[in-house]
Amino acid sequence: MLSKHELEAIIKAWPDEDGNSSNPEVYNKWIGMERDHCMTRIRYALGLERIEGLSDRQYKLLEKLLEELFARKSHWEITDEEILGQYKIVTEYMSPIYVENYVDAVKNRDKLN
């Protein structure tokens, strides 16, 4: 939990309408802490096995969907079910691994011809 002093420093460092922070070091440190917390939430919700089982394409797609989700809502409001839902959208609908394997096989076959 942030102390009163830390919270005041973050508020003072918050970027203005033009995106300029009065104290970029404090603001960027806070953004880094928030990003680390989001990554911890994602690892907790999905588990290491699911994350490690993603293809490169699936990982990039999931990363994009989760960035959009975390941009729309506070990470305090996002549920594990929402994170898992984004995972399922990627792995079951957008880019199932069996489709990726088939596309790779066709590409490799075409290279041989």
CB proximity list for 97: less than 8 A, separation 6 or greater: 55, 58, 91
Query: Is the pLDDT reported for residue 111 higher than 80?
Result: no
For the CA atoms of the chain, what is the radius of gyration? 19
If one compares 94 and 109, the residue with the highest pLDDT of the two is 94
pLDDT at 38: 86
Query: Which amino acid type is present at position 24?
Result: P
Q: What is the pTM of this model?
A: 0.72
pLDDT tens readout for residues 44-61: 999 999 999 999 999 999
Query: Is the pLDDT reported for residue 113 higher than 70?
Result: no
